[in-house]
């Protein structure tokens, strides 16, 4: 089948599907799904980025496979089927991460396995991939995945700079900077998340008013 | 907007519906199985290599002056023999030698329950100083910013630059069990200054080092000539 099509969507519908996930229906900022990894592993940019990439991979692959077999799955067992497919790709992602870097695997810890229960993925499978053709489903996976990555990386960047005085592990302010430790603790995640929501809603409203 | 394709299976009788459910799940399970086995086969060797490489790097960090490493495993009755090939379950002793071939220290692994999950560490024992001279955390899921300081906190790591683990007269146990004390209260060489805000993690490390050293140091001392000979 056609896989890994570029972003140059053939039709505006495809492009719209992609952009929907990226911004208009951003899984983190608009539909507020997948909070567990968003809050838990956004304490550094590298963690956030790896989590985003792993989730995107699982989203795209499971959307692809689910869309491929959508007409063969009886609706009574669709959840079981979807979860099985998602869990498979999560396991694959876990092996690949371990093969790429033990350090990243160490810092993401249990949250890799928990991608299975990330509502973004099951949500996209149920709401989109099970009803649409393969190519739009793949694009939808990429859109939501990139949207998630974008949001979680924003969180990661803000929290790491404030909480550890570093960006992607590179020290920014020298040894005399007293890190704002609460920012890399769970409570800091909630603060930053709230502010990020505030900002994205403000931006959206502004854009809407301008457009109107 | 969304290309809709309504193609619901038409009304069927109960029996054939169950058959199709079972068939779908079986097929998906088989596909899943193949994908997972494929990924495991594909990444397995790299993962193993990465883990071994990570451990090796960690050992060289705990004993920076070493140039060469030899691995021994513990046989029953506390006899050490050189480890040939790879053995997953073996209790391993990593003997490090400097450029002239003299034994610098022996690195061993230890693990124990921390605040969140199992903490895995390695530490280096110097037979010459009768003390632990190096320490590194391999795996921890302790609270970021608090418990994970056992990995980085310079003051805490200082504890392991010369931690006394002298054996008693019959060479079977430590003269002074390792104790974890409140920060700033370290008086003796066998005490560990805890980290403020991470008492449980500090104590967990103290406990596992104490237990492991109590078992491993006697074995190292017993086999010292073998370890020094290097073969």
- Ordered DSSP codes for B164-199: E--B-TTSSSBSS--EEE-TT---STTEEEPPTT-H
- Give me the percent of chain B exceeding a pLDDT of 70: 92
* DSSP assigned state of B10: P
Option in A88, A101, A132 nearest B32 (CB): A88
Option in A80, A85, A185 nearest B144 (CB): A185
**Confidence grade of residue B13 (pLDDT, cut at 50, 70, 90):** low
User: CB–CB of B39 and A96 under 8 A?
Assistant: yes
**Confidence grade of residue A1 (pLDDT, cut at 50, 70, 90):** very low
Q: What is the dihedral of CA A6, A10, A11, A14, to 10 degrees?
A: -30
Residue B21, min C-alpha distance to chain A (Å): 6
- Looking at residue A31, what is its pLDDT? 85
Sort strands A166-167 and B79-82 into parallel, antiparallel or unpaired.
unpaired
Q: Which residues contact B213 (CB under 8 A, 6 or more apart)?
A: B123, B125, B132, B165, B174, B178
User: CB–CB of A136 and B2 under 8 A?
Assistant: yes
**Partners of residue B21 in chain A, C-beta under 8 Å:** 74, 76-77
Residue A3, min C-alpha distance to chain B (Å): 17
The nearest alpha carbon in chain A to B118 belongs to: A109
**CA nearest to B211, candidates B113, B142, B89, B77:** B113
- Looking at residue A141, what is its pLDDT? 93
Higher pLDDT, B149 or A140: A140
Flag whether pLDDT at A113 surpasses 60.
Answer: yes
**Partners of residue B5 in chain A, C-beta under 8 Å:** 131-133
Count of A-B CB contacts under 8 Å: 90
Tokens standing for B104? 């610098």
**Partners of residue B17 in chain A, C-beta under 8 Å:** 74, 76
Q: What is the pLDDT of residues B29-50, one digit of tens each?
A: 999 999 999 999 999 999 999 9
The nearest alpha carbon in chain A to B29 belongs to: A84
- Looking at residue B194, what is its pLDDT? 87
> Which neighbouring-strand residues pair with A53?
none
Please give the Cα distance from B89 to A4 (Å, whole number). Answer: 42
For residues B153-163, give the mean pLDDT: 86
Please determine, for the modelled complex, whether the ipTM score is greater than 0.85: no
Q: Which residues of A touch B (CB under 8 A)?
A: 13, 16-17, 43, 65, 69, 71-77, 80-81, 84-85, 87-89, 91-92, 95-96, 98-99, 101-103, 106, 109-110, 128, 131-133, 136, 163, 181, 184-185
Angle at alpha carbon of residue B77, lines to B71 and B78, rounded to 5°: 35
- Give me the percent of chain B exceeding a pLDDT of 90: 20
The nearest alpha carbon in chain A to B18 belongs to: A74
- Looking at residue A66, what is its pLDDT? 94
Please give the Cα distance from A96 to A151 (Å, whole number). Answer: 23
Mean pLDDT over all residues of chain B? 84
For residues A19-45, give the mean pLDDT: 86
- Which range among A191-200, B26-35, B37-46, B72-81 shows the weakest confidence by mean pLDDT? B72-81
- Ordered DSSP codes for B61-78: HHSTT--EEEEEEEEGGG
Option in A84, A91, A98 nearest B28 (CB): A84
Q: What is the pLDDT of residues B138-154, one digit of tens each?
A: 888 777 667 778 888 88
Residue A81, min C-alpha distance to chain B (Å): 6
């Amino acid at each position: 089948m056609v896989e890994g099509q570029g972003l140059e969507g053939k039709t505006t519908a495809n492009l719209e599907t992609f952009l929907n996930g990226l911004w208009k229906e951003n899984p983190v900022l608009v539909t507020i799904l997948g909070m567990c990894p968003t809050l838990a592993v956004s304490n550094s940019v590298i963690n956030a980025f790896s989590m985003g990439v792993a989730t995107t991979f699982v989203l795209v692959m499971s959307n692809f496979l689910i869309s491929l077999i959508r007409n063969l799955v009886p609706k009574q067992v669709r959840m079981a089927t979807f979860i099985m497919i998602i869990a498979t790709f999560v396991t694959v992602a876990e092996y690949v991460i371990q093969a790429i870097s033990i350090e990243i695997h160490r810092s993401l810890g249990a949250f890799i396995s928990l991608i299975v229960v990330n509502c973004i993925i099951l949500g996209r499978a149920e709401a989109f991939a099970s009803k649409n053709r393969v190519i739009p489903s793949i694009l939808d996976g990429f859109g939501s995945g990139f949207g998630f990555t974008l949001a979680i990386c924003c969180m990661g960047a803000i929290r790491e700079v404030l909480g550890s005085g570093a960006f992607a592990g590179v020290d920014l302010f020298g040894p005399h900077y007293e890190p704002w430790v609460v920012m890399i603790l769970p409570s800091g995640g909630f603060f930053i998340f709230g502010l990020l929501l505030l900002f994205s809603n403000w931006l959206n409203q502004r854009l809407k008013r301008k457009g109107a | 907007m969304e290309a809709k394709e309504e193609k619901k299976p038409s009304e069927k009788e109960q029996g054939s519906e169950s058959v199709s459910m079972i068939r779908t799940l079986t097929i998906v399970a088989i596909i899943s199985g193949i994908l997972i086995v494929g990924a495991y086969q594909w990444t397995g060797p790299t993962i193993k290599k990465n883990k071994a490489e990570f451990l090796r790097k960690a050992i060289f960090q705990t004993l920076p002056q070493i140039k060469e490493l030899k691995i021994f495993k513990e046989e029953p009755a506390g006899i050490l023999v050189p480890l040939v090939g790879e053995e997953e379950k073996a209790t391993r002793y990593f003997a490090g030698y400097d450029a002239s071939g003299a034994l610098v220290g022996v690195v061993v692994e230890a693990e124990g329950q921390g605040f969140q999950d199992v903490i895995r560490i390695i530490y280096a024992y110097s037979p010459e100083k009768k003390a632990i001279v190096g320490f590194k955390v391999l795996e921890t899921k302790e609270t970021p910013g608090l418990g994970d300081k056992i990995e980085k906190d310079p003051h805490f790591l200082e504890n392991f630059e010369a931690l006394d683990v002298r054996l008693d007269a019959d060479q079977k146990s430590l003269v002074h069990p390792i104790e974890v004390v409140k920060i700033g209260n370290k008086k003796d060489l066998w005490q560990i200054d805890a980290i403020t805000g991470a008492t449980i993690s500090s104590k967990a490390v103290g406990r596992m080092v104490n237990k492991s050293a109590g078992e491993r140091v006697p074995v190292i001392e017993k086999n010292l000539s073998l370890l020094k000979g290097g073969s």
